[in-house]
């Protein structure tokens, strides 16, 4: 009897561990569902519209995935709404402060003016990691991302997009943002840069968002107003761009003025400035005087072969390139 008892010990231990894991898995799943409901309730008290038709548990015993069916979200006074038939919320069983959200079906983003943008991707995953309830890091990664507005010509496509944000340890209230887009195709030419084309092979940026906490606030018909009034700006600590004749790595800063127009400066070193200046001067919306001046500058650099640090500024509603006024800037919204 004693011998058989010893043989049974491993099985008893296994059963105890299995029962314990089953209990733990269901406890974590229940807690996650409770937190999800609490978050939805909190959002509603702040004026947001959020709903989930049904939550289904998946992944036992190794994984934990909550399938969110018929999910919808509209931020308070945000002017837009996102709807999707299904998304998956993945939880780390060993670290419940690390979650990821996977978009399974297309996302329809509806705006206040009635326009709708359909977002699709081969893979679209958002991640969130917190520490003691505070943001530690968040990000979005997408493969073959497509943004399509049926009411407008063209679609935006990117082979790969990576967006990450985390608190900046150097200054309280500031956030570091890293953005990387590969093989970007624009839906239509950019005004004043039409001759650059719509293909952007590479765009990378390292940005610091000052007064970032104010972005969580909003005002009716003025979503960036509280951030701007708080002194919010963007610092481009690194900007790498390959677009048409332009291949550069620069820096700068930007924000919004009182009329919500772009305001700031970009400094872009360019080794071959003549093709860049010529392309800008050939834009259909460039002022005639600016066209002639840019053409003369381009001709000069063809002769000298010198490089240039291209200075692009937005100030008092006017876009300037190398000090030359190119076009007025409308409000962003």
Q: Residues 195, 146: one domain?
A: no
pLDDT at 192: 81
- Last residue within a domain, chosen from 137, 152, 167: 152
CA dist., res. 46 & res. 209, Å (int)? 24
Residues 272 and 291 in one domain: yes
- Condensed to tens digits (0 to 9), the pLDDT of residues 312-322 reads 999 999 999 88
Among residues 98, 117, 152, the one where a domain terminates is 152
35 and 72 inside one domain = yes
pLDDT in the model for residue 320: 92
pLDDT band (50, 70, 90) for residue 229: very high
Q: Long-range contacts of range 180-183, CB-CB < 8 Å, 24 or more positions apart?
A: 180/204, 182/158, 183/158, 183/159
Q: Helix 273-281 vs helix 288-304: angle between axes, to the nearest 10 degrees?
A: 160
- Are residues 202 and 272 part of one domain? yes
189 and 312: one domain? Answer: yes
pLDDT band at 9 (very low <50, low <70, confident <90, very high): low
Domain that holds residue 120: 1-152
> Does the structure show a pLDDT above 60 at 226?
yes
How far out from the chain centre does Cα 134 lie? 20
**Strand pairing category for 155-167 and 134-148:** antiparallel
User: Could you tell me if 96 and 166 lie in one domain?
Assistant: no
311 burial class (0-12, 13-18, 19+ CB within 10 angstroms)? Answer: middle
Strand partners, 57: 66
pLDDT at residue 283, as a whole number: 83
Of 146, 91, 96, give the one whose Cα is nearest residue 120.
Answer: 146
CB atoms within 10 A of CB 294: 24
Within 10 angstroms of residue 17's Cβ, the number of other Cβ atoms is 10
For 69-105, write each residue's pLDDT tens digit.
999 999 887 678 999 999 999 988 878 789 999 999 9
87 and 167 together in one domain? no
Distances (CA, A) of 295 to 194, 270, 292, 318: 16, 16, 5, 20
Q: What distance in Å separates the CA atoms of residue 243 and residue 279, rounded to the nearest whole number?
A: 11
81: left (phi over 0), alpha (psi -120 to 50) or beta: beta
Q: Please give the pLDDT value at position 51.
A: 96
Residues 178 and 268 in one domain: yes
Concatenated DSSP letters of 28-52: HHHHHHHHHHHHHHHHHHTT-EEEE
pLDDT at 7 over 70: no
One domain for residues 143 and 172: no
Last residue of a domain, which of 152, 176, 207? Answer: 152
Quick: pLDDT tens for 23-79. 888 888 888 899 899 999 999 998 889 999 999 999 888 789 999 999 999 988 767
CB 307 within 8 A of CB 315: no
Length of the chain in terms of residues written: 333
Q: Flag whether pLDDT at 5 surpasses 70.
A: no
Q: Is the pTM here over 0.95, yes or no?
A: no
> Can you give the pLDDT at residue 318?
94
175 and 304 share one domain = yes
Q: Are residues 26 and 141 in the same domain?
A: yes
- Is residue 305 scored above 80 in pLDDT? no
Q: Could you read off the pLDDT of 173-216 as tens digits, one per residue?
A: 899 999 999 999 999 999 888 999 999 999 999 999 999 988 87
Q: Which of 36-50, 129-143, 264-278, 287-301 has the lowest mean pLDDT?
A: 287-301
Give yes or no: residues 106 and 192 share one domain.
no
| pLDDT tens string 104-129 | 999 999 988 888 999 999 999 999 99
Q: In the chain, where does DSSP find H-type helix?
A: 2-45, 225-229, 273-281, 288-304
- Work out how many domains the chain is built from and give that number: 2
């Amino acid at each position: 009897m004693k011998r058989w008892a010893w043989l049974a010990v491993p099985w008893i231990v296994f059963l105890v561990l299995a029962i314990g894991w089953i209990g733990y898995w269901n406890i974590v799943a229940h807690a996650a569902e409770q937190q999800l409901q609490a978050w939805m309730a909190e959002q509603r008290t702040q004026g947001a519209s959020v709903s989930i038709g049904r939550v289904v548990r998946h992944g036992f015993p190794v994984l934990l995935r909550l399938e969110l069916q018929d999910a919808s979200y509209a931020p308070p006074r945000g002017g837009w709404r996102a709807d999707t038939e299904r998304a998956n919320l993945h939880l780390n069983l060993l670290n419940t402060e690390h979650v990821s959200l996977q978009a399974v079906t297309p996302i329809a983003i509806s705006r206040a003016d009635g326009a709708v943008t359909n977002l699709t991707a081969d893979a679209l995953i958002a991640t969130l990691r917190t520490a003691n309830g505070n943001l530690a890091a968040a990000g979005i990664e997408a493969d073959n991302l497509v943004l399509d507005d049926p009411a407008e010509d063209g679609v935006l496509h990117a082979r790969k997009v990576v967006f990450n944000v985390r608190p900046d340890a150097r200054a309280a209230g500031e956030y570091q943002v890293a953005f990387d887009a590969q093989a970007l195709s624009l839906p239509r030419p950019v005004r004043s840069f039409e001759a650059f084309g719509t293909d952007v092979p590479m765009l990378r940026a390292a940005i610091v968002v000052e007064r970032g906490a104010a972005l969580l606030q909003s005002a009716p018909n003025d979503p960036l107003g509280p951030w701007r009034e708080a002194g919010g700006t963007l610092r481009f600590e690194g900007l790498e761009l390959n677009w048409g004749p332009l291949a550069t790595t620069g820096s700068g800063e930007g924000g919004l003025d009182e009329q919500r127009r772009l305001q700031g400066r970009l400094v872009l070193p360019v080794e071959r400035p003549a093709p860049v200046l010529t392309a800008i001067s050939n834009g259909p919306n460039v002022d005639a005087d600016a066209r002639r001046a840019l053409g003369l500058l381009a001709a000069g650099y063809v002769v000298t072969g010198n490089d240039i640090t291209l200075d692009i500024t937005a100030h008092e509603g006017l876009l300037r390139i190398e000090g030359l006024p190119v076009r007025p800037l409308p409000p962003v919204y």
